[in-house]
Structure 1
Amino acid sequence: MDFHVLTLFPEMVSSGLNTSIIGRAIDKGLISLNTINIRDFSKDKHKRVDDYPYGGGAGMVIQAEPVYLAYTYLAGQIQEKFSG
């Protein structure tokens, strides 16, 4: 069984899951974990993915474009795995 996680912090996700019961399942080859860094799909030279909320207010939001690009990349990888 394959698990794919889109995240801004792939090291944190991997280290947290690799040291738990899920880590034992990974070691036994029962599951696999693939973390995809959303920042890798940013068009910004600084790999920035955050933006200000529309309509104002406090806080930050994640830009839709890098998330969409990461998702379509992952969907392509999965489709390629099953078709080829």
Structure 2
Amino acid sequence: MEEVRLLQVEGQLQALARCWLYLAAQLELQGVDPAPLERSMLVADWQGAPYEPHAQRTMRELVEQLTAARENRERQSRYQAT
């Protein structure tokens, strides 16, 4: 039963991460500069309370995925322009 609950929580977290990436990408497409958001995500604490190490790693991974998506969109745009 504990394993099922853990899988449910993991799935929920994955869904939230995907939603966040989608929303952040949509903001970028609307012209919002992603740099301030990315910098704020990479700080080691939130209002003086340190992030748990797994949370820090996840934040870095989200920023990396957002960057990869941006680079992919830029490549596609350059390709379509040729």
Question: What interval of TM-score do these two structures reach, taking the shorter chain for normalisation?
Answer: 0.3 to 0.5
Name the one with the larger strand percent: 1
Structure ranking higher on relative contact order (CA contacts 8 Å, 6+ apart): 2
